[in-house]
Amino acid sequence: MISWLHRRNNWRKISEYIKSDTNIMTDNQNARSADMIADDRREKEALQRFKLAVKDLVGLFRHAAKADTVYMCWVNRNRNQFVFETVSTQHENTIFEDRLPFDAHFLAAYRDVNKIVELEVGADISPEELSHYFETVPVTNITLIPFVSKGETVAITVVESRGASNDPVSVESADAYVGALSNLLFTYLELSDMSEREKGWEKYEAQLDQINDRLERVHMIENLSKLLLDQVTGGIVHVVARGMDSWNHVFSAGECPTRPAAGLHIEDKSLAWAALESGKPEFAIHFNGTPRRLNQFEPLATGASLAIPLLINERRQIVMVVNHANPLLFKDSCKHRLINLVRVAALKLQSGRVRISVDDDLLSNDFSAYRLELIEKVIDLELEHMKNGNGLHTWIGFATPENLAGMRTRYRLESLKDIQNMSVLRLNPNAQGANGLVGLYTEYLFLILIQDKREDALAKFENSLRASSGSPMMLEGDEPAKFQFQTGFIKLDERFKDSYDVIKTAKENLNNLIRSGAVGKA
């Protein structure tokens, strides 16, 4: 009775703790949501004030220049169009579009001007080209005032008048106007940049709270990859981990049609390898695809990448390679946040409920096979990629030594352990001309994931494995072990719900093949 009450009281305490922890998280989330709404409102108000200031500035300039009509438009080169910001005119017979393609406006011929240009209506430009007037065109002179930033014309102000446009007052007004517009624009951009930096740090503070050491280690690394990705929106994060006696890419966070396959081997002279060698973050801008992030056979790298090693007990365990097409995104503040998120995750893992010794590999077991949870996670992620149309050719299968009962009676316990370790190395898809991962499902039953862009990757793997089975495994203090593997694979597609469904089907497939005698031998 006392024992039952003790358990009930403990459960009540745990429930209260979970409830209070959940309430705190909910309160924090509500507070952050309110802050985000307030930030969005401030941004919209700042943009509205900027637009009003530009409108007032154009109106003042028209009166100072004694012009009939003044309008300012942005030169949007990405979409090949002029975006009309504001207009000030004394005429009622005008209609301005919000935006026009380059080829639909006379300014197309002047979109790259970098100094003031004077035009005369009827001589340099026909009245019909001034399509914003209807019925009659009341102006005779046009002055184009470009706004140039970093060597590129980003905006043009058009001054239309009936008098001479080259008197001293107009020139002075034009210079003052360009200076005022420049100061106004750069002040707005600077304030916007400060706001972005502030939001970046606020997001970072919130992310630190999301590094949860109660998560299982695979889920904790996946969570970390998502937090890093959130700092470089639109980028991609590659996770590199040790297993199968080598360093390999295991999965990527972020949608990218050119992402590398799971199991791609990390080569020398790659950015990830440089981080492994130094034990410190390594940054590089990719010129003509170099340096490589992971391997010479990976899709061509663009932009810039930051490779961050995750160290536990001073030992390299993971490398997070953060890539984005825009190198300018990797400011010192952004790098600091990315590096510190990885460092905090490493400390949480080191001090977590599951102790990791110096000799332990974070995502693989004592036989150098990747953890089953990791392969399950890779399968689930690939199913998501397939739904988004970015799937790779992926096969899931099992392999087990033939005549397992005889092997267990022939070899000593230590030799049997060595056989399991050597089996992982032999089944390593990288050793058989493919990409993939090997995990240990149960004793002597290996779960294999093969992933490649080539449709014949599975056939090449099985042929190569069959050829290598002719070479015996050399055992210390025991006779060499020579055997074939019984294998069975299924191809991953969208009909599967999740990794549990996939692995269950693959296991049933192997059992059916063995019972029918149609099992593959390699």
Tokens coding 79 = 């979409």
> What confidence category does residue 241 fall into, taking pLDDT thresholds of 50, 70 and 90?
very high
What integer pLDDT is reported at residue 520 of this predicted model?
62
pTM of the model: 0.65
Within this chain, domains 217-350 and 372-521 share the same CATH topology: no
- In this structure, the number of other CB atoms found within 10 A of the CB of residue 451 comes to 24
The domain covering 53-192 belongs, at the CATH homologous superfamily level, to GAF domain (3.30.450.40)
The domain covering 217-350 belongs, at the CATH homologous superfamily level, to GAF domain (3.30.450.40)
Rounded CA gap, 416 and 404, in Å?
11
Instruction: Give residue-wise pLDDT tens across range 426-462.
Output: 999 998 889 999 999 998 899 999 999 889 999 999 9
Q: Quick check: 451 and 262 in contact, CB under 8 A? A: yes
Kindly tell me if the per-residue pLDDT of 32 is higher than 50: no
Q: Quick check: 253 and 236 in contact, CB under 8 A? A: yes
Q: Quick check: 239 and 217 in contact, CB under 8 A? A: no
Q: Where along the chain do its domains lie?
A: 53-192, 217-350, 372-521
Question: DSSP string covering 448-510, please?
Answer: EEEEESSTTHHHHHHHHHHHHTTSPBP-TTSPPB---EEEEEEE--TT--SHHHHHHHHHHHH
- In this structure, what are the phi and psi dihedrals at residue 401, rounded to the nearest 5 degrees? -60, 140
- In this structure, the number of other CB atoms found within 10 A of the CB of residue 99 comes to 14
Kindly tell me if the per-residue pLDDT of 29 is higher than 50: no
Burial level of 363, CB count in 10 A (0-12/13-18/19+)? buried
Burial level of 461, CB count in 10 A (0-12/13-18/19+)? buried
Q: What is the mean pLDDT of the chain?
A: 83
Q: Percentage of the chain with pLDDT > 70?
A: 85
> What confidence category does residue 206 fall into, taking pLDDT thresholds of 50, 70 and 90?
confident
In the chain, count H helices and then E strands: 10, 16
Please say whether the structural domain 372-521 has been given the CATH code 3.30.70.270. yes
- In this structure, the number of other CB atoms found within 10 A of the CB of residue 128 comes to 9
What integer pLDDT is reported at residue 24 of this predicted model?
41
Instruction: Give residue-wise pLDDT tens across range 138-167.
Output: 999 999 988 887 788 888 999 998 865 445
Q: Percentage of the chain with pLDDT > 90?
A: 40
Identify the helix (H) or strand (E) that includes residue 306. strand 304-312
N-terminal to C-terminal alpha carbon distance within the chain: 60
